[in-house]
Amino acid sequence: MKSDIEIAQAAEMLPISRIAAKVGLGEEMLEYYGKYKAKVDTLALRDRPRKGRLILVTAINPTPAGEGKTTTSVGLADALTLLGKKTVLALREPSLGPVFGVKGGAAGGGYAQVVPMEDINLHFTGDFHAIGAANNLLAAMLDNHIQQGNALDIDVRRITWKRCVDMNDRQLRNIVCGLGGKVNGVPREDGFDITVASEIMAVLCLASDLMDLKTRLGRMVVAYNRAGAPVYCSDLKAQGAMTALLKDAIRPNLVQTLEHTPAFIHGGPFANIAHGCNSVSATDAALKLGDYVVTEAGFGADLGAEKFLDIKCRAAGLSPDAVVIVATVRALKHHGGCPKTELGKENLEALARGLPNLLRHVENITKVYGLPAVVAINKFESDTDAEVRMIREACGRYGVRVALSEVWGKGGAGGVELGEEVLRILEEGEKHFRFAYASELTLKEKIESVARKIYGADGVDYAPAADKELQRLTELGYGTLPVCMAKTQYSLSDDAAKLGAPEGFRITVQKAKVSAGAGFVVVLTGDIMTMPGLPKVPAAENIDVDENGKITGLF
C-alpha cells in the first residue's frame, strides 16, 4: 500500500483554472498561487443566491482508533461527483505546527485526499502566516502602548491578548517578557498560543466580508484597564493595519480532490476554544457555486456539530440539509471498552457497549436539531458482517440508515453507497432545523441547554471564578452571545475517561472568557491546551526534500 504522500504525488492534477471552470468561475475571479491553487474573489459572488444543498459531516467522539472524518468528507464529495452531481467540498486548512509533531498531514487519506497535499500541509496560500502577523502586530502595538506611557492605563496583569506562532512549542507556553531594562519593554507574564488558537482565526472564519472582518477585529478585547474596563483592539488603532494584513487571507482557497472535485480549503479554528469549522466565506462561496456542498466540523458531534449549528449557522444564516455521522466499528468497540490490541477481532459485546455513543449523536442531530442524518461506517477489512448488521439495526430504531464507506482505499467509487444515501435523505428526509438554544437565554441557560440536551448531563456546576466572570461578561453586554464550549473531545462528558454514552454526570465550568470579535463566550470545562508540544521523536526528523523539491516523510 502506498503512503498518502505517494498517492498524492502520483496524482495528475488539473490546472486550477479548469477546476474553477467546472463551477463557472472565470479567470478574472481567480488569483493564482502556483498552478494548482487559487484564491477566489468573493466580492464578485456577493449578489448571487446560495443555491446548493449543504451536507455536514461529523462523527462520534474521537478515539485513538480513528474515525476518518476528513477522508469520508473528501470521498463523499467525489462520490457525489461520480453520481453526476455538481459538488463542492469545503474543509478546514491544516495547521503547520502539528505537521512536525505526531499528527502529520490533514488533507484526507488514501485515495480520498485534497491536493497538492504538501502545499496544503505546509504554507499553502499563507493564510495562517497572515493571521500570525496580524495577531503579533496587535501584541506589539499593545506592549508598545504601555512602553510609550500607557495612556489607556492597561493593567499589565490583565492582558488577555497573547502572541502566537504556528509551531508546536511548549517552551513558549509560559514566559516572562519585557526584561532587560527601560528601553526593552515592561516586564510581565505572557505566553504564546499556536496560531490556530488566535481569536483572529475565529474572526476570519466568521466574517462575512472585509469590512465585517475589520469591525470584528476592532471589537476584540485585548486587556482590561486598572479600573476593570475592557480595552479593545480599536483603542490601539490596530484594526486597519490588521485588516490590510488579512485582505487576501479572507478569500477562500480553491484546490481539488484526487478525482478533481473542486475543494475550498479555508480557515481552521480550534474546535474547543473556537468553533472548529471552515470559513463562512468558503461555505458561502461553495453554496453559490455548487449544487451540493460537503463540509466538516471538528472533533465529535458534541463539540464540532454543536458549534457548527449553534454558532456558525446562527451567525451566517446557514442550515444543513443533511448530516453524515462517521463512525468505525473499531472506534465503537473502543468506546465499549475493547483494548486497542483486540480491535481487529469481532467483538459484538464491546460493540454493543460502545454503540450508545453513536446513537446519542444520532439522536442529537435528528431530535435536538431536527436534521435528517445518515451514519457512515468508515470500513476496515477486519469489520465483520455481524458487527455492521448490529450498527444498522440500532440506527434503524432511530429511523437512520447506515452506509458503508470505502473511500480510503477506493476513492469516490468507495463512497457511492454513502452518496446515494445522502441523496436519498436530501429527497425524503424531513428537516425542521432549530438551534439547541435561543440567543435570548442567559449565558448559564445556554450552557445548561448544551450540557443537558447534547451531552446528556444532569446539570452544570460553576467554579467561583467562572461564576463571577459569566456575571461580569453579562454586565458588559455579552450575555446575548452564543456559548463556545471548550471540553475534552474524547467523551460526551467533561471527563475524557468516560467513554460510550455516559449518564448521571454533571459538567463543571472552570472558566469563561469572551471572544468579542468572533462573537461568542468561551466556556471552559477544564484546562484546554492552546500550545501543543513536540513528541520524543518529532515527525520533522523524517521530513526531507530532494534536489527537485520533492518532499518525503509527510504522511
* Known binding residues for ATP: 63-70
Determine if 528 is a binding residue for its own copies (CB under 8 A). Answer: no
**Which position among 243, 364, 366, 378 is part of the footprint of its own copies (CB under 8 A)?**
243
| Cell 482557497 -> residue | 253
Determine if 526 is a binding residue for its own copies (CB under 8 A). Answer: no
For the question of residue 366 being annotated catalytic, the response is no
**Which position among 237, 345, 389, 468 is part of the footprint of its own copies (CB under 8 A)?**
237
CA nearest to 281, candidates 248, 306, 310, 258: 248
**Which position among 148, 427, 432, 464 is part of the footprint of its own copies (CB under 8 A)?**
148
Q: Which is nearer to its own copies, 148 or 341 (CB)?
A: 148
Site for its own copies in 40-99 (CB under 8 A): 43, 96
Determine if 285 is a binding residue for its own copies (CB under 8 A). Answer: no
**Which position among 13, 82, 244, 348 is part of the footprint of its own copies (CB under 8 A)?**
244
Active-site residue identified among 299, 308, 505, 520: 299
Q: Are 408 and 108 in contact (CB under 8 A)?
A: no
- Residues annotated within the binding site are 63-70
For the question of residue 308 being annotated catalytic, the response is no
DSSP tag of 277 = B
**Residues contacting 117, CB < 8 A, separation 6+:** 4, 5, 8, 9, 105, 107, 554
CA dist 29 and 217 (Å) reads 26
**Which position among 3, 9, 147, 471 is part of the footprint of its own copies (CB under 8 A)?**
147
Q: Are 531 and 172 in contact (CB under 8 A)?
A: yes
For the question of residue 283 being annotated catalytic, the response is no
CA nearest to 174, candidates 486, 529, 525, 535: 529
Q: Which is nearer to its own copies, 181 or 504 (CB)?
A: 181
Q: Give the binding range for its own copies (CB under 8 A) out of 50-58, 218-226, 345-353, 539-547.
A: 539-547
For the question of residue 299 being annotated catalytic, the response is yes
| Cell 476593570 -> residue | 228
For the question of residue 21 being annotated catalytic, the response is no
CA dist 310 and 275 (Å) reads 9
Site string for its own copies, 96-135 (x = CB under 8 A): x---x-----------------x---xx--x--xx-xx--
**Residues contacting 233, CB < 8 A, separation 6+:** 138, 217, 218, 219, 220, 222, 239, 242, 517
- Cite the DSSP H helix spans in 407-506: 407-410, 416-428, 443-449, 464-473
CA dist 45 and 314 (Å) reads 21
**Which three cell numbers, joined as nine digits, stand for 451?**
450540557
Give the H/E segment covering residue 361: helix 348-363
Give the shortest CB-544-to-its own copies separation in angstroms.
4
Give the shortest CB-43-to-its own copies separation in angstroms.
7
Give the shortest CB-496-to-its own copies separation in angstroms.
16
For the question of residue 161 being annotated catalytic, the response is no
**Which position among 26, 64, 228, 240 is part of the footprint of its own copies (CB under 8 A)?**
240
- CA 412-394-377 angle, to 5 degrees, is 20
Determine if 17 is a binding residue for its own copies (CB under 8 A). Answer: no
For the question of residue 71 being annotated catalytic, the response is yes
Q: Give the binding range for its own copies (CB under 8 A) out of 69-77, 160-168, 324-332, 344-352.
A: 160-168
Active-site residue identified among 271, 297, 501, 518: 271
CA dist 125 and 104 (Å) reads 19
Q: Which residues belong to the active site? A: 69, 71, 92, 103, 271, 299, 380, 408
